[in-house]
Chain A
């Protein structure tokens, strides 16, 4: 069974530039998560989708971050404009449902903002 795919794996941009990350969850998984993980910290949930609807985006900085999950499958996370403090690993995960379900994580995208 294929795992969660993410691209790119690495990205370096300058502050105020835009960047987008892509995630392809495990086939059939209804729930998709985007996390931000700053070095030395645990992952912080940015947004959670159930199919193509948003379940929780309370920690998403909506003035600069946006995410969508068209057709309830793939998802993109965008940052516009980027700030230095956005340097982190962005992890995508998927699970069959929501409550108490195991989450399967992708390898992440390491973003460096200069």
Chain B
């Protein structure tokens, strides 16, 4: 079956530091890949997505590239802010004809200090 593995947190950084959160996946076929973000006490919201190999998703300074050869979708940001403190979830969803059930990683907590 499908699976998503994220690095364990919490990840603690100082403001303006470089961020990487690793994500690798196992899937049949050609899934779409996602990063969702959850702020304290809220639901998840889409941060970025990529639908095919070598696609780069980007939003709010965050980027992730769909690497089929390494089955990875690592999240990066060049300079984090305190407001980026949240839990980040990597997820995959199969293409047409595939499962309706998205697969989520366990989430990685990011704490950014001033």
Do A and B bind?
A: no
Please report B residues at the A interface, Cβ cutoff 8 Å: none
Please report A residues at the B interface, Cβ cutoff 8 Å: none
